Structures are given as structure tokens and as C-alpha cells.
Amino acid sequence: MFDQYIVCEEGFRPLEDGRTGGVVEVRMPYYRGLALSMVEAVDLVLDGQPVPPSRTTLTVHGNTYTFDQLPRTTDDRWEMGERAQLAFETDEPLGPGEHDVAVAVRLRISYMPVPGGGRDSKRLTLAA
Amino acid sequence: MTAPAHSIKRGVSLYSFQEEYFLRTLSVEDCIREAAAFGARGIELIPEQMIPGFPRVSDEFVDSWFSWMEKYGTTPVATDLFLDTKRYPDRWLTLEEQVASFHRDIDIAVRLGARVVRAIINTPPEVMEAAAPYAEDRGVRLLLEVHAPFHYEHPWILQHLEVMHRTGSPALGLMPDMGTFVERFPRVVSERALRDGAKPELVDLIVRTYDDHGDTHALMDVVNYRGGGPVDFGLARQATHYIWTEPKSMLEHMALIGHIQAKFYEMTDDEVEYSIPYDRIVPVLVEGGFDGYLSSEYEGNRHIQDAFPVDSVEQVRRQHTMFARLLGESSGEQQDPVLPTPPAVGAGPGTGPQTTGTGSY
């Protein structure tokens, strides 16, 4: 329902901690916040190449989680419309300029018999 | 125009402004101010939507909430709860945990001054029964939403009605969602499908079948036989998910009905809802002596946001102009109810004229 807003146009930037990779800001395609245990996947495809979840982390309001931790995280939430940071590692430094960023969010919504969530892709310019 | 005496009140669920809240172009306070501007006096809130940090609700938020109510002349009416039975990846919530989730959300409603709590449609009847005493003690009514594709003869609803009638708890009741009275297919939905690449002849088949109130059960199959793809299947599924039933089907349950979610998809320039016949729904509520809130629930944003600017405020304003007309108000401003005297703000359940026999027939 908010698929087109998943990938934020602003805030796409290289990692600043010495590792190679970057950060893309993402929003949850749902009309309420959800405990992180019900966020089943935030899958990233960068320039056509899937980035394994083990090389990504999700940060909500300053709290960073690996995707292994999410299923057990029932006491923190991704709020409605909140810009979370999806950080990812790559083998090579990100080149300057434009990149294709595709994100698929899968949510476990209790009243739905099928997975919730959605997908979005945008061409983003890496912040200098 | 004049309408028969009634004490139906107008309200807005802030769910209506989800597009603007999501994009942070309206704050919670902005939503309340906009609702008050066209004479809606009752505010419905989804705490999980608009209270960051939920289920922790800070004193600061509560203070702000009541200060906004005072500032804009509005009243907290209802909160909407969810039941995350799938909170854990490897197991279902136990009955005890489900009831605890209800208790938590009842406490939040009480803190926010709401006397009605929407129980989501996936709530098992046994959870309603187990949570009823807690709600009753705190002066809150738990109202099960009757949401499409459910209706008053559906076994799931019948199981809930059995609990309500057997226990006779004044804390239990129903909250009809007007999405159960979709008489013709919302065109914002079929037009979106066309923009997404649906085949025009299949869209036409789906819309015609729905509008003729034909058999939609096999629509997905027929769409498949005719070469449909994912977008066509999605639209066909939508056609099985909307329902049309006679609004009069609410009448025999009126003693249980404490709140109306006035779902809508598109208010046209003529200030009528394209697919839901409110001109035939409101008279049924008047006839049944409904004395709660008609609470706007705009849900059209998701169908137009790809191609058009979303203006939820204008959509809700149009719905309230329509309500004021159908309720016989002389202007857009909400007048005092004609008859009978409404319960005082903050009065508990059972004080309104229609709630005395709740659940006990």
C-alpha cells in the first residue's frame, strides 16, 4: 500500500566506518508500526546483484540489528513511515553516481493468510 | 432538509490521514485540527500507527493528546487494537498472551480517554469472552469490527454473536465497517489496475460481475482462463474481498453496535461516495436508533498515489459535508443532537440510550 515509498530518495551514502558498502534509507509499506520480530525480510538488490541478508543490518531510531536478531526482537519496532537505515557491505567500494536500488520487504501480518509487505526500486545517486 | 430525530455524531479516524502522516506532512495534532475544522467532534486513533514507542505511551503524549482535544473542541472516542497472534516466528500466541495483549490495549484506551476499542476481525471469540470482564471494569466497550468479506450471517461472526448473547456482557459489541456495503466496484481500484497493466477486457469482466452482484467465487479462475496475469488476479481477488449486503442487515444487531467505521474509497466532486450508498446507510442507522459516531475511514490513497496527488483532508471534508446533509444538519457545523440527550463526555458504557440492553437479548 506504500510500496512506492519504501526506498527513500535521500540518504543513499557510502558506509563511513571503514568497511566497503553503503546505507539506503527504507520505509515499511504498512499503515502501522510493527515489532521487528514480524519483519521477516528486507531484501536488497544493488545494481542487479542480490546482497545476502548476512551482509546487511537494519537500524531503527538508532538501534542496529542483524537479520539473525530480528525474529527475536519483540520489544522494538519499526514505526509507521519511519526511515530506517539498511546498511550493506560490498566487496568493492561503491562507485560514484547512480545505482539501481531494489528493496523487497516481507512482513508477517497476523490477520493475513499470505505474507504482507511490498517492493520498490529506484535509481539513486550516491551522496558524495 | 430535515431528517428524523437522531443522536448520531460525526467523527474521524485518523487512519484517514495515513498518507500524510506516513510522509510526515501532517502530524497527529494537524490531523486532529483538520478533522475539527469540518465539524467532526469524535477522534479515533490507531495507537500503533501514531504513537511512536508503542506500547509504551509517555505521559508527555497523553498530556499533548488531551491538550489537543481541548484546543480543537474534540473528544477521544475510540482506539483500534491489533492482535499479533504471529508475534513470534515459531509459535502462535497462547490464549493467555492474546488476552494480555487486549488488556494492554484497553489500558491504553483508558489513558487516552476512549471508551470504545475496535477489536480486529481476526480476534477469536474466546479472546473477546476472556477480555470482557477487564473491559467492563474499566468502562470500555470492545467492539468486533465487522469487516469485508465478513457479514452478519458468516460463521465467524455468528460465533462472536453467540459469545455476546450468551455472556450478555455490556462490554462486548460490534463495529460495522461500511466496506461491507460496497454496492459497486470502486473505480479508483479498477483504474489503478489498468495503470498497472491489467487487461481492459478482464477489468471490465471483473467490474461488471461485481456490479451485477454476480458470482465472484470463480473470478480468479476465469481471469486465468482468459490469459490474465498477476495484476488481473489481484483485481479479481479484490472483487471477492469487497461485499455488498443490505444495510438493513445491521438493524437486528443494533443494540450491539456502538461505533461505525465509515470506510470510503472516493468522494466525488458531487460529494457522494462512488461505491458505498451512504444515502441508504445513514437512514438505517437513524431508524435503528444508533447514537454513536460515524467515524470516517478514508482508504482511497493507496489506489491513487501512483498517479495523483493524495488529498485525504479534502476527501474527509467531502464525506462530512455528505454526513451533515444526510443527518439533517443545517450547515457543515455539527449541531447538537436532537434527541435523546447524548451521554456526557467520558461517561462509561451503558449510559447511552441505546446501550442499556447491550448484548443481553
Q: What are phi and psi of B286, to 5 degrees?
A: -65, -45
Report CB contact under 8 Å: A38, B50.
no
What is the predicted pLDDT for the residue at B3? 62
All three cell numbers of A115: 505474507
Q: Is B35 helix (H, G, I), strand (E, B) or coil?
A: helix
Q: Would you say B44 and B80 are in contact if contact means Cβ atoms under 8 Å apart? A: yes
User: What is the ipTM, given to two decimal places?
Assistant: 0.97
Task: Confirm or reject contact between B56 and chain A (CB < 8 A).
Answer: no
What is the predicted pLDDT for the residue at A1? 86
Count up the domains in chain A and report the number: 1
With an 8 Å Cβ cutoff, the interface of chain A facing chain B consists of 1-2, 4-5, 27, 31-35, 37-38, 40, 61, 71, 74, 77, 79-82, 108-111
What is the predicted pLDDT for the residue at A106? 98
What is the predicted pLDDT for the residue at B2? 58
**Statement: B9-183+242-326 belongs to CATH 3.40.50.1110:** no
Report CB contact under 8 Å: A110, B84.
yes
Report CB contact under 8 Å: A31, B82.
no
The closest CB to that of A80, out of B49, B89, B306, belongs to: B49
Spell out the per-residue pLDDT of chain B, length 361, in tens: 556 799 999 999 999 999 999 999 999 999 999 999 999 999 999 999 999 999 999 999 999 999 999 999 999 999 999 999 999 999 999 999 999 999 999 999 999 999 999 999 999 999 999 999 999 999 999 999 999 999 999 999 999 999 999 999 999 999 999 999 999 999 999 999 999 999 999 999 999 999 999 999 999 999 999 999 999 999 999 999 999 999 999 999 999 999 999 999 999 999 999 999 999 999 999 999 999 999 999 999 999 999 999 999 999 999 999 999 999 997 544 444 444 444 444 333 333 333 322 222 2
Name residue B203's amino acid.
V
What is the predicted pLDDT for the residue at B357? 29
What is the predicted pLDDT for the residue at B355? 31
Q: What are phi and psi of B25, to 5 degrees?
A: -95, -15
Name residue B247's amino acid.
P
pLDDT in tens, A10-65: 999 999 999 999 999 999 999 999 999 999 999 999 999 999 999 999 999 999 99
DSSP E strands in chain B: the ranges are: 9-13, 42-45, 75-80, 116-119, 141-146, 172-176, 260-264, 293-298
Range of the domain at A102: 3-125
Report CB contact under 8 Å: A108, B50.
no
Give, in order, the Cα–Cα distances in Å from B62 to each of A49, B59, B78, B314, B322: 47, 5, 15, 28, 32
DSSP E strands in B108-191: the ranges are: 116-119, 141-146, 172-176
What is the predicted pLDDT for the residue at B358? 29
Percent over 90 (pLDDT), chain A:
98
Give the angle B342-B344-B346 at the CA atoms, nearest 5°: 130
What is the predicted pLDDT for the residue at A67? 98
* Nearest residue of chain B to residue A27 (CA atoms): B22
CATH 3.20.20.150 residue ranges in chain B?
9-183+242-326
The closest CB to that of A33, out of B54, B88, B121, belongs to: B54
Reply yes or no on whether the pLDDT at A7 is more than 90.
yes
Give A-chain residues touching B21 at CB under 8 angstroms: 80-81
What is the predicted pLDDT for the residue at B215? 92
Task: Confirm or reject contact between B309 and chain A (CB < 8 A).
Answer: no
Q: Where are the alpha helices (DSSP H) in chain A?
A: none
Position of cell 483508558? B110
